[in-house]
Amino acid sequence: MVTKPYKLLFVCLGNICRSPSAEGIMNHLLQQRQLTDQIECDSAGTSSYHIGSSPDGRMTAAAKRQGIRLAGRSRQFVVDDFEQFDRILAMDKSNYQDILQLDCHEKFSDRVYLMCNFCRHHSDDEVPDPYYGGEAGFNYVIELLQDACEGLLEDVLRQI
């Protein structure tokens, strides 16, 4: 019997900074633990600002300093994502609300979470958008997402 992988979708505004970083960090953790056949990741944005773009170069550099590779192209969150993913992880409250507004029949709200709910060491409520800031902001987002991804992975493994 073949079981289908558990699927995670990370969502931010433009899908070029926070959500591809969360996806890259989680993929890194899954590779380290040899779990890539059990859990799959993707990322998306609630806006259409950057569709088709690679992850932001500053974000890519911050991730690379931690040994994490960012890949993929930006895409917009679509209603079909509710059916395709077991958990949808919003980077901030605005993205969270934007996602829930697309759930017209309120069938999937139990799949949508705030990413920082899984932090084990940080007390942030939201993953800050580093786009208009400097290098320290990008580095902090990587650190915060590493914490949240570790906690999320522990939670998913308990569930599956």
Catalytically annotated residue among 56, 81, 129, 147: 129
Q: Is the pLDDT of residue 1 over 80?
A: no
The secondary structure of 81-118 as a DSSP string is: HHHH-SEEEESSHHHHHHHHHT-TT--SGGGEEEGGGG
φ, ψ of residue 126 to 5 degrees: the values are: -140, 155
The tokens of 111 are what? 């799949």
Average pLDDT of the residues in 63-85: 97
Catalytically annotated residue among 12, 17, 119, 149: 12
129 is annotated as an active-site residue: yes
C-alpha 141/C-alpha 92 separation (Å) is: 12
18 is annotated as an active-site residue: yes
Whose tokens are 């679509």? That residue is 78
104 is annotated as an active-site residue: no
Q: What length is written for the chain?
A: 160
Is pTM beyond 0.85 here? yes
Residue-wise pLDDT tens digits, 101-113 = 999 999 999 999 9
Residue 3's pLDDT band (cuts 50, 70, 90) = confident
Catalytically annotated residue among 17, 18, 58, 116: 18
Residue-wise pLDDT tens digits, 120-145 = 999 999 999 999 999 999 999 999 99
Residue-wise pLDDT tens digits, 20-32 = 999 999 999 999 9
C-alpha 132/C-alpha 115 separation (Å) is: 21
Residue-wise pLDDT tens digits, 6-22 = 999 999 999 999 999 99
- The residues, ordered by sequence, that sit 6+ positions from 112 with a Cβ below 8 Å of its Cβ are 87, 88, 89, 90, 96, 99, 100, 103
